[in-house]
């Protein structure tokens, strides 16, 4: 028998397969390897940010600053490149900014006992405000390295291809799986999400783990911002506006419990892919507004939250 904690993950994988097969029967040319690869190409930055968010939610927290951090990364990158800084310096700088930003929020949440929702909401406004301090206008990026990264196609079998961003995103997914299931950091994250007080009594490094979790989320957000910069070749304060909600939706649809303690990076991967395939179906349909993507994602999110609630209640009843 399948353990109940795996049910949301299996539902996510099955739902993705079902939606993709449905699109394949309905639309000519939908069932192809390149369409599948395009889901990764178009959502690579979302996938990177979602891996970081998975750790945050598994730990029992939430991070609303993701979208703003992506925008800030594009603005800082574009501004520094415009001033003549080389990419080899710009990229580490923006990654360090993301790590520092996330780590500070994690420290504030733990030591001042502030709800993650409030702390990261403040971080969201701060990061978005800093974007407009840099510039209120779009800053175009014409750096040769960034242009090359945006235009490079990695050839696969046949006429299929992927972008550099896909390689980066898949590397982060593999790293996330390794961190979650094969390191002390991952085990501590699950333990804190399951019961923080018990984790303290067991002597686990709760403070350090929380700071590392939010620091890792900040790193993923900044890396997603770099990939987003490759995608857009510009910095703008309104980039990734509301993307934190898409990231949270992908993680929850991927089977991670909002209450913490249960979640899988692989599930998050399929959660992002589900969002991508829904957007692709709406694009193939041609007559539907893009807002239908939001509607479908909202319905799926509600259904998965209800499924999590039912499973949690059953587990609680069984313990009693």
Which pLDDT tens digit goes with each residue over 156-187?
Answer: 988 899 999 999 999 999 999 999 999 999 99
pLDDT in the model for residue 29: 85
Confidence of residue 287 (pLDDT cuts 50, 70, 90): confident
CB atoms within 10 A of CB 232: 18
pLDDT in the model for residue 173: 98
Q: Is residue 30 part of a domain?
A: yes
What is the Cα–Cα distance from 247 to 50, expressed in whole angstroms?
5
Q: Is residue 320 part of a domain?
A: no
The better pLDDT of the pair 288, 233 is held by: 233
Q: Which of 5, 42, 45, 54 has the alpha carbon at shortest distance from 227?
A: 45
Neighbouring-strand partners of residue 163: 153
CATH number at residue 131: 1.10.3470
Structure tokens at 10: 């299996």
The residue segments making up the domain with residue 227 are 4-312
pTM of this prediction? 0.94
Q: Is residue 142 part of a domain?
A: yes
Q: Is residue 317 part of a domain?
A: no
What is the count of structural domains for the chain? Answer: 1
Task: Summarize pLDDT for 127-161 with one digit per residue, the tens.
Answer: 999 999 999 999 999 999 999 999 999 999 888 99
Whether 233 and 8 have beta carbons less than 8 Å apart is answered as no
**Mean pLDDT calculated for residue range 227-234:** 94
Q: Is residue 268 part of a domain?
A: yes
Give 92's contacts (C-beta < 8 A, 6+ positions apart): none
What is the Cα–Cα distance from 138 to 215, expressed in whole angstroms?
28
Structure tokens at 195: 């019961």
**HEC readout, 191-223:** HHHHCHHHHHHCCCCHHHHHHHHHHHHHHHHHH
**Mean pLDDT calculated for residue range 80-94:** 96
pLDDT in the model for residue 316: 44
What is the Cα–Cα distance from 47 to 59, expressed in whole angstroms?
19
pLDDT in the model for residue 1: 53
């Amino acid at each position: 028998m399948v353990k109940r904690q795996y049910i949301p993950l299996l539902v996510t994988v099955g739902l993705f397969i079902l939606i993709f097969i449905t699109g394949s029967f309905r639309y000519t040319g939908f069932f192809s390897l390149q369409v599948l690869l395009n889901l990764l190409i178009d959502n690579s930055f979302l996938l990177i940010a979602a891996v970081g968010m998975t750790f945050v939610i598994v730990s029992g927290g939430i991070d609303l600053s993701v979208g703003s951090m992506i925008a800030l990364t594009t603005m800082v990158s574009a501004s520094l490149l415009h001033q003549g800084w080389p990419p080899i310096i710009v990229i580490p700088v923006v990654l360090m900014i993301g790590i520092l930003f996330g780590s500070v929020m994690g420290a504030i949440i733990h030591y001042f006992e502030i709800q993650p929702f409030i702390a990261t909401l403040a971080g969201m406004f701060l990061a978005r405000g800093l974007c407009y301090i840099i510039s209120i206008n779009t800053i175009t990026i014409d750096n040769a390295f960034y242009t090359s990264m945006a235009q490079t196609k990695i050839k696969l079998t046949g006429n299929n291809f992927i972008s550099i961003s896909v390689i980066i995103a898949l590397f982060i997914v593999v790293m996330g799986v390794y961190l979650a299931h094969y390191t002390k950091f991952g085990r501590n994250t699950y333990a804190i999400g399951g019961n923080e007080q018990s984790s303290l009594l067991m002597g686990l490094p709760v403070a350090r783990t929380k700071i590392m979790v939010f620091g890792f989320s900040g790193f993923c957000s900044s890396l997603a911002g770099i990939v987003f910069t490759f995608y857009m070749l510009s910095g703008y304060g309104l980039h990734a506006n509301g993307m934190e909600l898409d990231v949270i939706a992908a993680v929850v649809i991927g089977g991670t419990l909002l209450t913490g303690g249960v979640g899988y990076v692989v599930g998050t991967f399929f959660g992002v892919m589900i969002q991508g395939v829904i957007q692709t179906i709406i694009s193939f349909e041609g007559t539907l507004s893009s807002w239908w993507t939001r509607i479908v994602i909202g319905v799926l999110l509600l259904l998965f939250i209800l499924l999590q609630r039912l499973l949690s209640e059953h587990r609680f009843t069984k313990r009693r």
